[in-house]
Structures are given as C-alpha cells and as structure tokens.
Amino acid sequence: MLIFTTKEALKNHLNPIYKKNKSIGFIPTMGALHIGHITLVKKSLSENSVTIVSIFVNPTQFNNSSDLENYPRTLKQDEALLQQTSEDIIIFAPTPQNLYNGTVTSLKFDFGKIESLMEGKFRPGHFDGVGTVLTHLFNAVNPIRAYFGEKDFQQLQIVRKLVAIKCIDIEIIGCAIYRENNGLAYSSRNQRLSENAKQQASIIHKTLIKTKEMFGTNNAEQIKKFVTSVFKNETNFDLEYFEIADVETLESIKSVDHSKKYRAFIAVFAEQNVRLIDNIALN
C-alpha cells in the first residue's frame, strides 16, 4: 500500500498509469474511516485498475470552528483499516497548504437553489467548501470514477452539479447508506457518541421508516408534524430540520406527483452537540 502526502508525489506516481489508460477509482474522505467507507472502497476495487482514497479534513467546509476542531482524526487507524482491506490501495493524505496551493480559502460556485436548501440553509458556505476541495482533489487524482455515500445525498447532488459546471469528465457514483445494526447510518461523527447515545439514536432511522410508511396516505405537512412530535418527546435529541423533497431539485414538496421520486431528509443534534443526518427514499 502506497501513501502520498503531496500532490506532486502522487502525480509522479500516477503519470505512467495515465499513459496506460488504466481506470482510476477515487473515494474522497475526511478520515475516521468506518465500514461504510470500506464498502465504497471495495466497489472501486472491483470496478477499477487503481483505487485511491484521500484522507483530508477539509477546513473550508466547516462553518463551525468547534466542529472542525472536534472532528475525529485517526490517520494511523485509517491506514491500518485500508491495509486490511487491500494492499492495492493508494492513500492520499495531503496538508491543507499543499492541497490548496498555500492559500486555504473557498472558491465561489453557483449551484443554483439546491445550495440554499437543508444543509445549505443551516451550514452557510458549506457547499462552496465542498466544491473547492473536490476541485483540488479531482485535479490531483484525475480519476475516471468517484464514489460517494448516499447518506450525504444533498452533497452527492452538489458533486454532480460541480462536475457539470466545471466540465470534469468523471463518473459520479452514489452508493447505498450503510447502517449499524440498530439502523443508525454509519458516520465518522458516531465515534463521538457514547454507546448509550448510539443506541438511542436508532430513533432517527425508525422515524424515517415510519415516514415512508405514511407517505402516500398522509400529506407532507401531516408527516412533518408527526416527526416534530417524535423529537419533542425525545429529550436527548434536538431536531434541526425534516423535509420531504424532490430527489432532483431537493425542493420541499406540498403535493405528490407520482411521476417523480422523493426522499425524506433529517438532521438531528445528539449528545455533545454531535450533528447527525440521514435520509430515506420514499418511492
């Protein structure tokens, strides 16, 4: 397994691979890897000649400095987990100065209305940071395919817009949410939860399952009222938002058009102000 900490060293290694037209799969991560990440890695290994995993906690996508400071950093454990998965993985773990060419600032993007909804509404500047770091990473790696989990579904749609805006020739592949035994979506932030809080957080997925059962027989407003009432009674969790949205536009719906696809999206604060997000396909 190879590990590179600069763009220059990575590109020097990849140049002969580009010349041979070998397919490169890429999984961008912020580290604190878990089995959800490994499912993406295994998919890339099965579909590409070369698989690269980046480990980089991106400062420009955090609008909360304490969230950035507290984000788990476990590089040695991440390396060991990838080593156990396959010897044929390249790790790219640059410093912010190297990846950002010395100046760690966000570019500005026009992602349309999608960037101001849900995550964009509650985390201003977040998607500019995501677009910026992925632009730098895609330029450094130059992959054929890039893999993203559907837990961050809004981000996945932003990434698809990014490659269209920048005319980047990359296939963006969304992968199903991987869940713990109690239904909690795997997330690096779960590492900050106590075992008790993890078990209690199963309420998030249980609530989403119930919204799926209600969808079609209840309107969006009735479902939102139900979700709000659930978390009013859950003193260990604070509901930040719940929305039922069109999969393509991510705009909240008032009525159902059966020719379109919808998802329910939720963001909840747990203990120690750990923010958890999840979503579920409704139809």
Catalogue the active-site residues.
37
The enclosing H or E element of 137 equals helix 126-141
Q: In this structure, what token pair is assigned to residue 267?
A: 């963001």
Residue 127 contacts by C-beta under 8 Å, 6 or more apart in sequence?
61, 109, 111, 115, 119, 120, 155, 158
Q: Is 175 helix (H, G, I), strand (E, B) or coil?
A: strand
Under 8 Å between Cβ of 257 and 224: no
At 110, the amino acid letter reads D
Within a 13 Å sphere around the CA of 257, how many CA atoms are in the beta-carbon half?
10
Query: Taking Cα atoms as reference points, which of 28, 68, 66 lies closest to residue 44?
Result: 28
Closest to 52 (Cα-Cα) out of 28, 22, 83: 28
List the structure tokens of 42: 């295994």
